[in-house]
Amino acid sequence: MNKALLVVDVQKAFYNEKWGDRNNHDAEEKMATLIDHWRKKGLEVIYIQHQSNDPESVFYTKQEGVEIKESVKPIGEEQIFTKTVNSGFIGTNLESYLREREINEVVIVGLTTPHCVSTTARMSGNLGFHTYVVSDATAAYGIYDQDGNYVEPEKVHTVSLATIHEEFALVMTTDQLIKKLAL
Amino acid sequence: MNKALLVVDVQKAFYNEKWGDRNNHDAEEKMATLIDHWRKKGLEVIYIQHQSNDPESVFYTKQEGVEIKESVKPIGEEQIFTKTVNSGFIGTNLESYLREREINEVVIVGLTTPHCVSTTARMSGNLGFHTYVVSDATAAYGIYDQDGNYVEPEKVHTVSLATIHEEFALVMTTDQLIKKLAL
């Protein structure tokens, strides 16, 4: 089985103070560990990059925020899919790219757990890919609900993972994944 | 603007004891209220129905569980889209059906908040439809995370809604929605 590592939205824009508190500050280190394993095995590392045409957005294409963070950035011919919504599968050729390469295992890491990671994982699972989400290689910021109540980062993260586990994806830690996929 | 009401997976299978505790026991009553408003205005009520070919599934096609609950069931020519995964947009013609009718406002109610409702709402928003999720016309069951920790229904529900609000959809109550859309 061919395995792809999807690195979702790990971009400088997410280190802007506007996002407030987040959990899992070691997530990028875990992502880098997985990227390293992937490259050593000659497996496919795929980047998903969020872009906006709105000059007000921190993801606006013509400024630094849109760039992928140095510590996890692509090298050589690694594929980058740019998107303008949360799902890596909407408005991109990601699905056909995976199918053409007979990739049927998709491992997802990146930012943020409740939005782009969760949505990409949900679609990946529903499209029939064996999907994994790496709990310590993803992270969440605090968010406000429709009544203005603050939900703290760790709660957003853990409940987001619980809602996808065994329904769309298997959720596990970096160490568990390395063992599970014999990387 | 044309408005559709999407009634997701309100099927007898969900009243099986296997699901455990759920919140929002009045959700079906709220759905029925909205369905009634929709029909009176001559607006489109669309049903999403989950089906499985697995005889072990409570959604198996050849038994009662697959049927839509009486109190919210379709009448006349109302459209039913059947699906085999969580998203109402995957493996169905829902997207083209909405676009052909120039429906650009999609209101989502049904079961369950964290899985089929959330996933359908995420895709609806990402596909460019103005999407609403009705907080008191959806409901959640308790779930277990990847470490076996139980997350209670109300927490699953509220955090699921918080993670979609203002990112994929506007989350509001039945009363707020009726006012907002002048139904």
Smallest CA–CA distance, residue B12 to chain A, in Å, is 20
SS3 state of residue B59? coil
Read off the tokens for B100. Answer: 């052909």
- pLDDT over threshold 80, residue A1: no
Give chain A's mean pLDDT: 97
Smallest CA–CA distance, residue A94 to chain B, in Å, is 15
Give the pLDDT band (50/70/90) at residue A45.
Answer: very high
- Which of A126, A129, A133, A149 is most worth mutating to test chain B (most B CB atoms within 10 A of its CB)? A126
Q: List Cβ neighbours of B102 (8 Å cut-off, separation of 6 or more).
A: B2
Smallest CA–CA distance, residue B15 to chain A, in Å, is 19
Looking at residue B139, its pLDDT comes to: 98
pLDDT of B4-20, one tens digit each?
A: 999 999 999 999 999 99
Q: How far apart, in whole angstroms, are the C-alpha atoms of residue A85 and residue B7?
A: 24
Residue given tokens 């949505």 in the structure block: A119
Going along chain B, which residue ranges are E strands?
2-8, 44-50, 79-83, 103-111, 130-139, 143-144, 150-151, 170-172
Strand B103-111 with B150-151, pairing: unpaired
pLDDT of A74-106, one tens digit each?
A: 999 999 999 999 999 999 999 999 999 999 999
Q: How far apart are the first and last CA of chain A?
A: 13
Check which CATH number belongs to the domain holding A129 and give it: 3.40.50.850
Say how many residues make up chain B: 183
Looking at residue A180, its pLDDT comes to: 95
Residues of chain B scoring pLDDT < 50:
none
Going along B31-165, which residue ranges are E strands?
44-50, 79-83, 103-111, 130-139, 143-144, 150-151
ipTM: 0.97
State the amino acid at position A158 in one-letter form: T
Average pLDDT over residues A105-127: 98
CB contact under 8 A, B161 and A143: no
Looking at residue B183, its pLDDT comes to: 87
Q: How far apart are the first and last CA of chain B?
A: 13
CB contact under 8 A, B171 and A145: yes
pLDDT of A57-74, one tens digit each?
A: 999 999 999 999 999 999
Chain A residues 136-165 with a CB less than 8 Å from chain B: 143-146, 149, 151, 155-156, 158-163, 165
Say how many residues make up chain A: 183
Q: How far apart, in whole angstroms, are the C-alpha atoms of residue B126 and residue A86?
A: 7
Whether A50 contacts chain B with CB within 8 A: no
The phi and psi torsions of A93 (rounded to 5 degrees) equal: -100, 20
CB contact under 8 A, A156 and B156: no
Q: Give the number of domains in chain B.
A: 1
Looking at residue B34, its pLDDT comes to: 98
Domain that holds residue B64: 2-180
Q: How far apart, in whole angstroms, are the C-alpha atoms of residue B178 and residue B183?
A: 5
Q: How far apart, in whole angstroms, are the C-alpha atoms of residue B169 and residue B112?
A: 16
State the amino acid at position A129 in one-letter form: F
Looking at residue B79, its pLDDT comes to: 98
- Which of B59, B122, B136, B149 is most worth mutating to test chain A (most A CB atoms within 10 A of its CB)? B122
Closest Cα partner for B85 from A60, A98, A169, A89? A169
- pLDDT over threshold 90, residue A183: no
CB contact under 8 A, B146 and A156: no
Looking at residue A168, its pLDDT comes to: 98
Average pLDDT over residues A126-136: 98
State the amino acid at position B72 in one-letter form: V
SS3 state of residue A177? helix
Smallest CA–CA distance, residue B76 to chain A, in Å, is 31
Q: List Cβ neighbours of A20 (8 Å cut-off, separation of 6 or more).
A: A141, A142
Radius of gyration of chain A measured on its C-alpha atoms: 15
